[in-house]
């Protein structure tokens, strides 16, 4: 019996997704819940599991193509008499299917060897442990052949100072994140031939770009770039397709900028006490294993200040002509990733202690960098923070996330002369930039919120009076 598998709604309200990479080919036997493709939405790369077992009879889209939700993705013969083409059965062909279960499995199950979780409410529970790793490693070995030695000469790579290229162990899947795998596919680089310079041999973006640079010396081409006329001196313009996160971010920022009347206020604060607090917590054994950062302290201050000025934790609803003040703070944290800017959010952040908030922010940042952010973490934000200080920037005028009333930018911490207790002293100083939607937040409300945040950073003990 031939069954078509339509592309499901990935839970983000999006109507299409791009096929990043197929994990199977026509004729392959797949098991229940086996990962069949990496699919990129506008915000994250998701591993798509098969909802049934059988033999793949057709792939209805190629890598790099966009598929609409509900359109057929692949077809599978699920009949008892189904058999793969000669030689198509891999080591996992006879493996029993994973038992069906509701939900998507636990984070622990997917954290060991998968860059992303199963889809919520879709497919069977993920397998975990050595069995699953062995099956996926074997599948990857079949799908990713080693790059011929003549394609990337080892001697030339070493001469250019690039990362050395060496074939991967046949039974071992090259270690990389979904964004790096996509970049490798776009640049025509076989990951099995790239030596990873990251932690525990992880293949990084720089490793892939170095390998692609060496390849260009011999063929001068990359699949995803278009060279436009050589400029003077031999350089050439490059055209990069607008898609994925960049396309979504552009559309969201344009919609926000031309819908909400933006206003930005600034406040420069002496944060010496905050930095002393951060340093003391890092040195305290009681907080070993928890990384409390200035961002976490700012996040806690924002949650406390929002309680005093609820207008900033709200949304303007044009259709109903209402202002909705949220009962909870879903705190968005802007994260710069290899795929572009994403803003996952911490649900009910106001209920968390400082340490809990620091752990949650750290987890969001890690999953965002690895391309494993869950769709649920990318929706439902009520107000956001962006840390431009990590890039050495003092202040800015951030654009609101659509549907949110404010966004706070925290600048770099600078040690500079400052008035302290009637004298000039070297203090640690930060500039806060608050952009707000002037339709529902007035200047006075924004100023009250901003000064409350500043007061908490100037004297963290003041938080005791606001709890």
Identify the sign of the CA torsion 22, 214, 372, 257: negative
Q: Is 262 a catalytic residue?
A: no
CA 464 from centre of chain: 34
Task: Catalytic residue, from 60, 262, 290, 438: name it.
Answer: 438
Question: Torsion over CA of 22, 25, 28 and 32, rounded to 10 degrees?
Answer: 30
Are 174 and 143 within 8 A, CB to CB? no
CA distances 87 to 28, 57, 84, 119, 131, Å, are 9, 15, 8, 31, 22
Picking from 317, 308, 255, 265, the residue whose alpha carbon sits closest to that of residue 442 is 265
Distances (CA, A) of 45 to 6, 242, 343, 383, 447: 18, 16, 15, 24, 39
Reported residue count of the chain is 467
Between the alpha carbon of residue 132 and those of residues 145, 331, 424, the distances in Å are: 21, 35, 63
CB 56 within 8 A of CB 68: no
Instruction: Measure the CA–CA gap between 298 and 385, rounded to whole angstroms.
Output: 9
Active site residues: 438
């Amino acid at each position: 019996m031939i069954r078509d598998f339509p592309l499901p709604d990935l839970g983000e309200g999006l109507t299409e997704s791009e096929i990043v990479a197929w994990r199977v080919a026509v004729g392959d036997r797949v098991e229940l819940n086996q990962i069949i493709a990496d699919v990129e939405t506008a915000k994250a790369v998701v591993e798509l599991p098969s909802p049934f077992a059988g033999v793949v009879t057709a792939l209805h889209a190629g890598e790099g193509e966009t598929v609409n939700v509900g359109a057929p993705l692949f077809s599978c013969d699920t009949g008892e008499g189904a058999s793969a083409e000669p030689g198509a059965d891999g080591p996992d062909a006879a493996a029993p299917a994973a038992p069906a279960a509701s939900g998507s499995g636990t984070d622990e199950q997917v954290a060991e060897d998968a860059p992303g979780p199963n889809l919520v409410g879709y497919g069977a529970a993920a397998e975990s442990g050595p069995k699953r790793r062995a099956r996926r490693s074997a599948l990857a070995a079949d799908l990713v052949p080693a790059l011929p030695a003549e394609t990337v000469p080892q001697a030339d790579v070493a001469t250019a100072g690039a990362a050395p290229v060496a074939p991967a162990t046949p039974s071992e899947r090259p270690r990389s994140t979904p964004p790096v795998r996509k970049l490798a596919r776009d640049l025509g680089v076989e990951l099995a031939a790239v030596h990873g310079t990251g932690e525990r041999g992880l293949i990084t973006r720089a490793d892939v770009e170095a390998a692609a640079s060496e390849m260009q010396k011999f063929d001068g081409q990359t699949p995803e770039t278009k060279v436009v006329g050589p400029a003077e001196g031999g350089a050439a313009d490059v055209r990069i397709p607008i898609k994925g996160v960049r396309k979504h971010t552009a559309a969201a920022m344009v919609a926000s900028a031309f819908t909400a009347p933006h206003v930005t206020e600034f406040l420069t604060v002496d944060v010496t006490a905050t930095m002393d607090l951060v340093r003391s917590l890092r040195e305290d054994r009681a907080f070993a294993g928890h990384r409390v950062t200035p961002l976490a302290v700012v996040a806690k201050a924002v949650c406390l200040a929002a309680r005093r000025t609820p207008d900033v934790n709200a949304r303007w609803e044009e259709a109903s002509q209402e202002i909705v003040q949220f009962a909870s703070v879903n705190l968005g944290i802007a994260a710069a990733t290899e795929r572009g800017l994403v803003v996952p959010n911490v649900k009910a952040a106001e209920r968390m202690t400082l340490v809990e908030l620091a752990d949650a922010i750290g987890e969001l940042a890690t999953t965002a960098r690895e391309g494993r952010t869950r769709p649920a973490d990318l929706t439902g934000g009520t107000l956001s923070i962006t840390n431009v200080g990590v890039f050495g920037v003092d202040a800015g005028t951030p654009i609101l996330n659509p549907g949110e009333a404010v966004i706070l930018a925290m600048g770099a911490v600078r040690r500079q002369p400052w008035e302290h207790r009637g004298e000039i002293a070297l203090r640690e100083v930060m500039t806060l930039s608050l952009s707000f939607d002037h339709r529902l937040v007035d200047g006075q409300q924004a100023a009250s919120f901003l000064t409350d945040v500043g007061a908490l950073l100037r004297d963290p003990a003041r938080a005791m009076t606001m709890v």
